[in-house]
Structure 1
């Protein structure tokens, strides 16, 4: 007894832990990868921005000095000093313009207020390039870039660039607060740097982006710790954790609910299967071109002895996980012969659809079960259709393909249920050889006002048309959806607008009354849906 209780709790806690841990792990992996990739891209963009700013500053200095050279400003006359001051005032990035000797002595510069702490300029010689870029260091270790332009063999124009101009506020504040930026000349001289507020900036896993100017000897290095990048997805990460925990709690409650359905040590669900408390309900499938009933889909209902009905969502996952769905399906097929066998024998044009799950294709037993159940019954093999959902992957496609062929060889049809919502739909179409595609309700709900849904439905219809497959639309609930499907060329549909799933007696009465299930359709004033014909 103790072992059985332990096993029961393992079956409850195992899926619960998996439901919590797996989504969190996947979400963390995806969000982390996305954040780091996005952060690296942003660091690169920031480095490019700094390079562009440095290029612009130096380009402005060179242009300004070339204009002054053309005006003959080769001495410190009052007129030339006024020109230097005016050039500085009219520029965006220049702090001072002046003249200097080749040995680095500043002869004059305007405005003089920018030289509170004058420093010696880099020395040059007559063989040096006409334009040079250097870095000046102040008394407080402040650095400043200076650009010089040779006027003659002894004199150069010099433009000192504002240190503030290179400082930028670019990027996400959550990233830039922890980011370090360094701007260097190619000779290794540090022009400007912005230090990080994070102690992690020196860690070995820090992310670094380097960008070099294409035209000038300037390079920029930008670095940030990974934590700064992950801050951008912290909120999404919290949501994923909360969602996983909520789902885990729900899974735990469902597991406990199933566990509590114990009676004197026997499993309530297994007892219900043994007692055959599962009944087929029949939802009509309608020819929407005529309104006539073309057949039905068999849907399972758990009706206890006391008359209470358990919704399918509360037991089907458990039935599939334990494999009991196979016995339930076998019972449902037998009951269809009892419920609607005489009706189908009298109406050979009707079809009946039965759902199969991935577990039915683990071996070929389902083939013999179909053959034994429907052989010489009121329901002919050619009136049968078996739906296979995409929601759970088939474990052995080769075996599944063989089972498909044997079922189809009897004359029955195979339908791809919930097309486009699960695992390997296109691969299934290619490998397994379906006869029918069923369009899921999630697409039908939005066909009249959502372009994406219309595109998917239209694409499925195009695939079916090219492969010679029939189509059935599920979950049709509105007349505009019917009109859209009619215009698209889909002939078969089911949904609450026609009829809810019915017990056998009501479905039989409905068919025998030759009921027309088409609702009153408003006059079509314009085309319904983007892809309506």
Structure 2
């Protein structure tokens, strides 16, 4: 409980301070609050625009990969018809063409026949896909070009319809003095929302803005509004604020109510949860696709609050990563996993257990010291560990990351690249980082169906991993058709709701006992046995 004397002291202090604050200072506070609120709102608008762009480009990627899978690269009449159908089936694409390695058109749908100027370098999304900014030589309208390269000698290029890219979310009161600029990460602009020719209001420099950057594609959205327009919304509030300064009793009551109802910050809430032991591990089984045997699991954190409710990581993991509490949280999960699985894994040395790490873990060697201290004398040996680092967020210091990965492998653990193909590092970084395992993201598994002949991104990931001597695991597997495709294309292992959801410790141990996955002899884990 909050100490009553402390409450009284805070209330009295606040009242004295507020009583001595000049009216102009309070007005200044309101102006700062207006700027903060506007920045927060603009940040939300920018995020929504980025989400819309990602969905639009996803639709283009799916259209091109489907065309390539259906033989459009042959450039016969059936291929031309297929490209035309793709244009009509989706509103986001305006033109599609097959080009050679030099960028010359081999064949195209003949609907528009317009020439384009490329204004930006081609930003690579992954090994097979890149985007660039182009301009129509007739209308001078800018748009995005998407290139998909299923082979070295030919590629599919699609131009997006300009009106499919921008999402006009600015409110009416800001529209005349606001602008959203859509650009690639190299700074090349491909659209403004609303579309403007006259952007002179931007030259004043007195703007309020926010930016959002896509985690999946090389693009960003910068939203700005004239400061004077924002402040106009707060003119009436200034007058009311000056009047309110004289109502001392109301201020006292407001401060008292605020203190009484104040809740801990998100960061403090996580700290309290760590101290109370509310974060617990769940275990998602990993199955060998060739043998059907259970190989191990991935540890996924949940929060069990005092009232018994279970929270998913979405409720707290971003905050834990932002303020660095992910490090003690990971440490706590490792110790709890030993308590849960130690006896079971001590008799099954071929079983593995995987923990998720984030970019923060690779800024210094703390994670190496933690693994050595926690697992050196534990029933679970370091050789049974797999440590996963996601590709969705960049490793700021690659040299340090390479050293940390090598040190973890020296201890005996394996290191996996999680969410492969979705993020910042690019597959070319796999060899440099020295990973042992590649995990294919659910995003690329979902499109696989019974009639799927090719899944270009999955096939590319598997091919590269095999060439680098790495094992491959597929995440988010939900159908037998996906299992059959993945097995036939060289994927070693899989996890997903087809096999089992993340399980509490007792359920997972019961599954291990029931499946008899690995003999109880003290054997070392094999390279293909991953989680």
Distance 2:136 2:505 in 1: 70
Offset at residue 393 of structure 1 (A) = 0.3
Give TM-score scaled by structure 2 length.
Answer: 0.52
Offset at residue 401 of structure 1 (A) = 0.5
User: In 1, are the aligned partners of 2:415 and 2:435 still within 8 Å (CA)?
Assistant: yes
1:488 maps to 489
1:390 maps to 391
Q: Does residue 415 of structure 1 match 2:416?
A: yes
Offset at residue 237 of structure 1 (A) = 3.0
Distance change (3 Å), C-alpha of 1:435 and 1:12 = farther
For 1:50-61, what aligned pairs fall within 5 Å after superposition?
A: none
2:479 maps to 478
Offset at residue 448 of structure 1 (A) = 2.9
Distance 1:12 1:274 in 2: 34
1:20 maps to 45
User: In 1, are the aligned partners of 2:283 and 2:297 still within 8 Å (CA)?
Assistant: yes
Does the residue aligned with 2:377 lie in a helix, a strand or coil? coil
Distance 2:279 2:423 in 1: 26
Q: Does residue 339 of structure 1 match 2:340?
A: yes
User: In 1, are the aligned partners of 2:431 and 2:468 still within 8 Å (CA)?
Assistant: no
Q: Does residue 403 of structure 1 match 2:404?
A: yes
Distance 2:136 2:390 in 1: 48
For 1:180-259, what aligned pairs fall within 5 Å after superposition?
A: 233=162, 236-239=165-168
Does the residue aligned with 2:166 lie in a helix, a strand or coil? helix
Q: Does residue 376 of structure 1 match 2:377?
A: yes
Offset at residue 348 of structure 1 (A) = 0.3
User: In 1, are the aligned partners of 2:402 and 2:432 still within 8 Å (CA)?
Assistant: yes
1:308 maps to 309
1:153 maps to none
Kindly indicate whether structure 1 or structure 2 has the higher relative contact order, using CA contacts under 8 Å at least 6 residues apart.
Answer: 2
Distance change (3 Å), C-alpha of 1:340 and 1:22 = closer
User: In 2, are the aligned partners of 1:397 and 1:431 still within 8 Å (CA)?
Assistant: no
Q: Does residue 297 of structure 1 match 2:298?
A: yes
> Any idea what the Cα deviations from partners look like across 1:460-491, whole Å, max 9, x if unmatched?
11101111100111111111111111211222
Gaps of 5+ in 1: 32-170, 173-206, 210-221, 249-259, 518-533
Offset at residue 288 of structure 1 (A) = 1.9
Offset at residue 402 of structure 1 (A) = 0.5
Distance change (3 Å), C-alpha of 1:450 and 1:373 = farther
Give TM-score scaled by structure 1 length.
Answer: 0.52
Offset at residue 26 of structure 1 (A) = 12
Distance change (3 Å), C-alpha of 1:225 and 1:454 = closer
Offset at residue 453 of structure 1 (A) = 6.9
Distance 1:358 1:460 in 2: 22
Distance 1:441 1:508 in 2: 25
Distance change (3 Å), C-alpha of 1:22 and 1:453 = farther
Offset at residue 290 of structure 1 (A) = 2.0
Does the residue aligned with 2:393 lie in a helix, a strand or coil? coil
Task: Please tell me the root mean square deviation across aligned C-alpha atoms, in Å.
Answer: 4.3
User: In 2, are the aligned partners of 1:415 and 1:434 still within 8 Å (CA)?
Assistant: yes
Does the residue aligned with 1:355 lie in a helix, a strand or coil? strand
Distance 2:141 2:483 in 1: 53
Distance change (3 Å), C-alpha of 1:24 and 1:445 = closer
Distance change (3 Å), C-alpha of 1:239 and 1:303 = same
Distance 1:450 1:466 in 2: 27
1:273 maps to 274
User: In 2, are the aligned partners of 1:303 and 1:310 still within 8 Å (CA)?
Assistant: yes
1:215 maps to none
Distance change (3 Å), C-alpha of 1:364 and 1:264 = closer
Distance 1:295 1:384 in 2: 10
User: In 1, are the aligned partners of 2:285 and 2:502 still within 8 Å (CA)?
Assistant: yes
> Any idea what the Cα deviations from partners look like across 1:292-314, whole Å, max 9, x if unmatched?
11000000001101101112112
2:511 maps to 510
Distance 1:325 1:338 in 2: 20
> Any idea what the Cα deviations from partners look like across 1:185-205, whole Å, max 9, x if unmatched?
xxxxxxxxxxxxxxxxxxxxx
Distance 1:414 1:271 in 2: 31
2:76 maps to none
> Any idea what the Cα deviations from partners look like across 1:48-102, whole Å, max 9, x if unmatched?
xxxxxxxxxxxxxxxxxxxxxxxxxxxxxxxxxxxxxxxxxxxxxxxxxxxxxxx
Gaps of 5+ in 2: 1-9, 18-28, 57-111, 114-134, 143-160, 172-179, 181-192, 194-208, 213-260, 519-531
User: In 2, are the aligned partners of 1:280 and 1:300 still within 8 Å (CA)?
Assistant: yes
1:40 maps to none
2:247 maps to none
User: In 2, are the aligned partners of 1:295 and 1:350 still within 8 Å (CA)?
Assistant: yes
Distance 2:381 2:276 in 1: 28
1:457 maps to 458
Offset at residue 262 of structure 1 (A) = 1.9
2:444 maps to 443
Distance change (3 Å), C-alpha of 1:10 and 1:478 = farther
Distance 2:286 2:472 in 1: 12
1:499 maps to 500
Does the residue aligned with 2:316 lie in a helix, a strand or coil? helix
User: In 1, are the aligned partners of 2:355 and 2:387 still within 8 Å (CA)?
Assistant: yes
Distance 1:9 1:323 in 2: 30
> Aligned residue pairs: how many?
313
Distance change (3 Å), C-alpha of 1:294 and 1:23 = same
Distance 2:136 2:468 in 1: 53
Offset at residue 342 of structure 1 (A) = 1.2
